Structure 1
Amino acid sequence: MTWTNPFHPSLRLRPFLGVPGLSSTEGKKMESFWDLSDGNVKSGGENWLSAVVPLMKLLSLAVIGLILAHPKLQVMSKATFRLLSKLVFVLFLPCLIFTHLGQSITGKNFVLWWFIPVNVIISTAVGCILGYLVAIICRPPPEFFRFTIIMTAFGNTGNLPLAIVGSVCHSAKNPFGPDCHTSGVSYVSFAQWVAVILVYTLVYHMMEPPLEYYEIVEEGNEIEEVVTANDLSRPLLVEAEWPGMEDKETEHCKTPFIARIFTRISSISPSTFPDVGSVEEGGPISPKSIRCLVEPKVVRRIRIVAEQTPIQHILQPPTVASLLAIIIGMFPQLKSFVFGYDAPLSFITDSLSILAGAAIPFVLLILGGMLAEGPHESKLGIRTVIGISVARLLVLPLIGIGIILLADKMNFLVPGDKMYRFVLLLQYTTPSAILLGAIASLRGYAVSEASALLFWQHVFAVFSLSLYIIIYYKVLLPYV
C-alpha cells in the first residue's frame, strides 16, 4: 500500500509499517520526520537544528565583522570595509557566480529554470501591493510614500541568499544532497540579471526625489556640493553591495526628472529648473526637437524618460559573470573547454574557484560592519518602520509559500528539486536589499531613512529567517 504525494503524483511515500511498542499516533509522528533525501529517520530536534545552525554560522561571521568595525575597538577602519566591498563586488562574487553557474547551466536547464526570474518579478509585484497597504495604514510622511512601497517590495536576491545557501550546504548532512552548493549558487545567480534590470528601471525611478519637496534654488544661488571620492561620512551600506555607485551619477539623477516632464508647472518659470535638452517645449530647435515635433506628447515624454534611464549600468561585474556563465554553459563544446577536470582551461576555473571561496565570508563581515554603524537618524517614524518590517519579513513569506505551492501544483517547478524550491522561497523571505541604500544615495533621497530601516530589518531578520527556514525544512521540503 502506498500514498500519492499531493505535490508530485509521480512520487510515492513508503507506508508506515509499524514499530513494536509504538502506538499508531506515535508511529505517525515518527513517519512525519522521515527524511526522503537519504531514507534516515530524523528527530524533531535534529530537524530544528539543521534549520537553525546555518543561520547561527552566518550570525557568527556577521558578529565578527561587527566587532572588527566597532568604533570603540577600531580594529578595521571604514575605509578597509569599503575596500573589502569593492573586492567582493568586482572579484570574489563574480568568480563565485561564474564557477558555479557555468558548471550547472545547460540549454535544457535554461528552459527548466524559467520560473526563477519570473518569481523575482512576482515577489516584487506582491511586495509593491503590500508596501502600498503599509503606506496607507501606517501613513508615513508624504515625501516617503513611494519609499515605503519600494523598501517593502524589493528584497535581497543576491548576497544574502548566496550566504544562506553556502551556510546551509556547509554541512555534510544537509537535506539537499551532494550538489547542494553548486545548484544553490546557480539558482540564486540565475535570478540576478532580472533583479538588476528591476533596480535600474523600477527602483531607480521610484526612488526619485518627490517634486513637491524638491528644493528650488534660484539661478545664480546654487550651492555646489563637494563630494570626495573617499568620503567616509556616508553610511557603509551605500557601498556595501554595489561600490562605486557615486560614479554612476547622471545629470538628472538627483532631481525629480519624471515629475517635471509629466506635470505641468504653471507657477514656476522654466528657467528655475536645469535645462533638460529637448524636454521643455519651446526650446532651441535641433534635429532631435524637429523629430519630436511629430511625436505625440505622451510618447515623447516616455521616450525622454527611457533615454534618461541608466539601463547601461546593468553590465556590472556580477551580471557580466552571469551572462558569460550562461553563454558558455549553453554550448557543450565551449563548456567542455572551460569546465571539467580534463578541460584545457581547468587551471583558470580552479583559480577562480579558490577566489570564490572568499565571497561569502567577506559578504558577512561587510554586513557586520554595516550593522556596527547602528541606525541613523530617520524621519520615517517607528510605526512605518515596524509596518515595513512586518510586511517584508513576516507577511510576504506566507504569501510566498502559497505562490510556490500553487506553482508546484501547476507543474511550473523542477520536479523533486528541493534546493530549487528553497531558493524560490528565500526570494520572499530576505530583508530589503542593501542595494536600495546605494540607490537612495545615488538619487539623493531618503539616505538616512534607508540606512535606519535596513539596520532594523537585518536585526529582525535573524529571528524571521530562523522561523521560516524551520517552516521550509519541516513543512514544505519533505513533500518534494
Structure 2
Amino acid sequence: MSGLFTGLRFDNMNSSEKDLLSAVTPLMKLLSLIVIGLVLAHRRTQVIPKATFKLLSKLVFALFLPCLIFTQLGQCITLHTVTLWWFIPVNVLISTVIGCLLGYIVVIICRPPPQFTRFTIIMTAFGNTGNLPLAIVGSVCHTANKPFGPDCHRKGVAYVSFAQWVAVILVYTLVYHMMEPPLEYYEIVEEGGEIQEQQEDNDVSRPLLVEAEWPGIEDKETELSKTPFIAKIFKSISSVSQSSLSNLDLTAEGSVNSPKSIRCLAEPRVVRKIRIVAEQTPIQHILQPPTIASLLAIIVGMVPQIRNFVFGYDAPLSFITDSLEILAGAMVPSVMLILGGMLAEGPNDSKLGLRTTIGIIVARLLVLPLLGIAIVALADKLHFLVHGDQMYRFVLLLQYTTPSAILLGAIASLRGYAVSEASALLFWQHLFALFSLSLYIVIYFKLLSYV
C-alpha cells in the first residue's frame, strides 16, 4: 500500500513520540534565538539599539548569507545535479501561482479596501524562500542524529539556495510593478506624505523589516519608484495622449531630442509603452551579494577543474573556503536575532482591515501548505523528484509553509505603497508562523521517512 510519499511511516507510539520531539526541538532552538533578539531590542530594555540590528542585517546580507550559499551550494552542485534539481525552481513558480489564486479568493471573500487588492494578492503569493528556510534547515540538521542523513545541512542549504534566484527575479520584476501605488488612489495615498517619507528614509525610525533583507534600500529610490508608472501608460491605449507619453519617455531617457526618442516615434504605441516599462524595471538589483554568490557557486561547482581547486580537504584554496564556512556559521543566529528585533517593534497601524489580515494569514500559513503537500506528493508520484532524498522533499514543502517574504516590506517602502500595512501584516504573519511552522514541520516529519 503506497502513501503520499515513498517511505511513509506507520510506527508505534514510542517512535511517534520520538519523531515529534525531533520535529519540535529545532523550532524551539529558533524560537529561543528569536526571544533573545526580542528582549535585546525591546523598547523597555534597549540593550542593543535598533541601529546595531540594522548593521547586523547588512552583515547578513553582504557577508554571512553569501558565504553560506557559496560554500554549501558550491560543494553540492554539479552538471548532473542541476538536471536532477530542476523541479526546485519550478516549485517556486507553482507555489507563487497557487498563492496568487488564493490571494484572489481572499480578495473575493474578505473584500479589502480597493486600493489594497493587489497588495492582498502579493502578500498571499510570495513567501520567504531564503533566510527563514535556511534557518530552519540549519536548525533541523544541527542535531546528533542528522534526521536527513550525514550530509543533511549541506544539501538542505544547496536546495534552498538553488531556488532563490527564481524568487529574486520575480520580486524585482513582477512584484516591483505590482506594488506601484494604484493610479485611482494616487493623490490620496501620496498627497502631502512623500516629502515627509523621504526625510524619514535615512532616520533610525525606519522599520527594521524594511532593511532586513535589502539594506541600503534608500539608495535605490528613483524619481518614478513612488509613482503609478505602468498604470499611467497602460490605463487606456486610446486615451493616453502622445504628449504624456513623451513626458514619460523624457523621464526615462533624458531628452526628447535624443536619437532614442527619434527612433521611438516610428514605434507602434503599444510596443513603445512596453519598452518604456522594461527600461524602468530595476533588473540590475537582481545582482545582489546572495545572488552573485549563487552564480559563482554554480559556475565553480559545474567546472570540475575549478571545483577541485576550491573545495576539498586537499584543495589549494581550502583555507579560504574554511574561513568562509566559519563566517557562514553566523548566518542563522543573526537572522533569528534580526527577526526578534523586528517583532520587538510591534505592528504598525494598518488600514487593511482585520478580516483581510486574518484571511491572508489563513490562506498563506494554513491552506497553502496543505496544497503544497498535494503538489509535492503528485510530483513524487510522477517521478519528478530525486529518488530517496527526503531533504529534497522537505525543502520543497517548506516553500509552501513560510510567511510572506520580508523583502516585500522593503519593496512596499521603495514604491511608497501600503508601507504600514506591509509592516503590520508581516508582524502578525511571523508571530502566527511560530505555531503554523511547528504544526506543519511535525506533519512533514511524519510524512517523510528519515533515519
Give the TM-score of the pair, scaled to structure 1. Answer: 0.88
Question: Are the aligned partners of 1:217 and 1:272 in contact in 2 as well (CA < 8 Å)?
Answer: no
Q: CA shift at 1:74, angstroms? A: 0.8
Q: Is there any run of 5+ residues in structure 2 with no aligned partner, and where?
A: none
Q: CA shift at 1:228, angstroms? A: 6.2
Matched, 1:243 2:221: no
In the alignment, the residues of structure 2 paired with residue 137 and residue 252 of structure 1 have an alpha-carbon distance, to the nearest angstrom, of 33
In the alignment, the residues of structure 1 paired with residue 56 and residue 4 of structure 2 have an alpha-carbon distance, to the nearest angstrom, of 47
Match of 2:10 among 21, 32, 36: 32
**Which residue does the alignment assign to 1:351?**
323
Q: Which has the higher contact order (CA 8 A, sep 6+)?
A: 2
Matches within 5 A, 1:289-300: 289-300=261-272
Of 239-248 and 261-270, the range deviating more from structure 2: 261-270
Match of 1:472 among 422, 444, 448: 444
Match of 1:66 among 20, 23, 38: 38
Matches within 5 A, 1:85-104: 85-104=57-76
Q: CA shift at 1:173, angstroms? A: 1.7
**Which residue does the alignment assign to 2:396?**
424
In the alignment, the residues of structure 2 paired with residue 4 and residue 149 of structure 1 have an alpha-carbon distance, to the nearest angstrom, of 36
Q: CA shift at 1:117, angstroms? A: 0.6
**Which residue does the alignment assign to 2:97?**
125
Q: CA shift at 1:292, angstroms? A: 1.8
Q: Which amino acid aligns with 2:232?
A: R
Match of 1:166 among 138, 141, 164: 138
**Which residue does the alignment assign to 1:207?**
179
**Which residue does the alignment assign to 1:454?**
426
Q: CA shift at 1:7, angstroms? A: 4.8
In the alignment, the residues of structure 1 paired with residue 219 and residue 305 of structure 2 have an alpha-carbon distance, to the nearest angstrom, of 39
**Which residue does the alignment assign to 1:310?**
282
Cα shift readout 1:430-467 (whole Å, capped 9, x = no counterpart): 00001100000000111110010000001110111111
Matched, 1:410 2:388: no
Of 104-113 and 209-218, the range deviating more from structure 2: 209-218
Match of 1:186 among 155, 158, 175: 158
Q: CA shift at 1:291, angstroms? A: 1.7
Q: CA shift at 1:225, angstroms? A: 5.7
Give SS of 2:127's match: coil
Indicate the structure with greater helix content. 2
Q: Which amino acid aligns with 1:396?
A: L
Question: Are the aligned partners of 2:200 and 2:206 in contact in 1 as well (CA < 8 Å)?
Answer: no
Matches within 5 A, 1:315-464: 315-464=287-436
Give SS of 1:231's match: coil
Cα shift readout 1:292-347 (whole Å, capped 9, x = no counterpart): 22322111111111110000100000000000000000001100000000000000
Q: Which amino acid aligns with 2:266?
A: V
Question: Are the aligned partners of 2:233 and 2:240 in contact in 1 as well (CA < 8 Å)?
Answer: no
Q: CA shift at 1:265, angstroms? A: 9.9
Match of 1:83 among 44, 49, 55: 55
- Structure of greater Rg: 1
Identity %: 76
- Quote the RMSD (CA, aligned, Å): 2.7
Q: Is there any run of 5+ residues in structure 1 with no aligned partner, and where?
A: 14-30, 35-40
Going from structure 1 to structure 2, the CA distance change for 1:216 and 1:378 (only over 3 Å counts) comes to: closer
Matched, 1:134 2:126: no
Give SS of 1:289's match: helix
Question: Are the aligned partners of 1:50 and 1:174 in contact in 2 as well (CA < 8 Å)?
Answer: no
Cα shift readout 1:382-434 (whole Å, capped 9, x = no counterpart): 00000000000000001111110111111110000000000000000000001
Question: Are the aligned partners of 1:7 and 1:479 in contact in 2 as well (CA < 8 Å)?
Answer: no
Give SS of 1:155's match: coil
Going from structure 1 to structure 2, the CA distance change for 1:33 and 1:229 (only over 3 Å counts) comes to: same
Q: Which amino acid aligns with 1:300?
A: R
Going from structure 1 to structure 2, the CA distance change for 1:293 and 1:65 (only over 3 Å counts) comes to: same
Question: Are the aligned partners of 2:349 and 2:420 in contact in 1 as well (CA < 8 Å)?
Answer: yes
**Which residue does the alignment assign to 2:126?**
154
Q: CA shift at 1:245, angstroms? A: 1.3
Q: Which amino acid aligns with 1:458?
A: H
Question: Are the aligned partners of 1:102 and 1:329 in contact in 2 as well (CA < 8 Å)?
Answer: yes
